[in-house]
Amino acid sequence: MRKRKLKKKNIFIAFLLLIILIFLIIFIINHLPKDNKKETSVFKTEQNKWEKYKYYLKNNQKRYEVYFSTHPEADLNDVIAIVNVNADKEAYKESNEANLQKGQEILVNKYHSLAENYTPKSMVEMDKKYAYEGRKALPEVNEAFKKMYEDALKENIEMYVVSAFRSYTYQGQLYTNYITTYGEKYANTVSARPGYSEHQTGLALDILSDSVEMKDFESTKAFAWLKENSYKYGFILRYPKDKEYLTGYAYEPWHYRYLGKELAKKVWEENITYDEYYAYYLDN
């Protein structure tokens, strides 16, 4: 009797084990491929945590990691932007020549310079009606500004160009004056070294209104209008607020860069600095 009971118990245990085994096999079959996938994706995320960010550039990955290791508190989007525009490098010292082949898309900043003898080919003198005397710019820039000026005027908004093309030599004098007045550190945030100014391309304009000084331009109607409309004429605000860590310059509500209507619209819609836009979309 006891033996039989034991045998019955053994069969029961064996049966139970078999069922557990079957369930286990089904479970493994159902879950193994998924788990494998999961593992791969976890692995990938750790390898390329940068990849999911919009402006990630594969070539810059090492530099993202280096920058982040010394700035662990930084937002990863910022790290990517900083590295993309070269702001992890030393301004002026680690710079290359600006790519002249880019035409009106050219990027000139503290990492992309122009030669001392570089002068835009054909410039025109801007009309005294809307510019200080003797201001010169590329013909397409002059035309675009003229149209913008006329359209703004229809809405009773007045604006005029105080600075347009600046030669290497003239930029040098300006820069030296700033250093003499304010010291080098501050001068670098408000003035470009000769060879590093967008004004040398003939594509940049400083615009003011209502006889206000530069520091007060932000509060004018003209600025509010330009902020919403300048891209429609091919101009973008080149040094926006709170972007000094990317552009290298303090906020300049008066400084506009001509890019042509099509590109200006794209940059405006993307809502990033031209340094970032150029690095991601045009620097190839």
Contact set with Zn ion (CB under 5 A): 206, 255
Q: Least Å distance between CB 198 and Zn ion?
A: 7
Q: Least Å distance between CB 255 and Zn ion?
A: 4
Name the residue whose CB lies closest to Zn ion. 255
Q: Which two tokens stand for residue 242?
A: 């709170």
Decide whether 5 or 215 has the Cβ nearer to Zn ion. Answer: 215
Q: How far is CA 70 from CA 66, 121, 248, in A?
A: 7, 44, 20
Nearest to 145 by CA among 257, 5, 271, 279: 257
Q: Least Å distance between CB 191 and Zn ion?
A: 9
Decide whether 61 or 119 has the Cβ nearer to Zn ion. Answer: 119
Q: Least Å distance between CB 282 and Zn ion?
A: 21
Q: Which residues contact 88 (CB under 8 A, 6 or more apart)?
A: 63, 66, 67, 82
Q: How far is CA 270 from CA 77, 116, 205, 256, 262, in A?
A: 15, 33, 22, 17, 13
Decide whether 135 or 255 has the Cβ nearer to Zn ion. Answer: 255
Give CA–CA dist 222/145, Å, rounded. 13
Decide whether 248 or 280 has the Cβ nearer to Zn ion. Answer: 248
Decide whether 84 or 201 has the Cβ nearer to Zn ion. Answer: 201
Decide whether 63 or 166 has the Cβ nearer to Zn ion. Answer: 166
Instruction: Give the helix/strand (H/E) hosting 258.
Output: strand 255-258
DSSP helix, strand, coil percent of the chain (3-state; round to 5) = 55, 10, 35
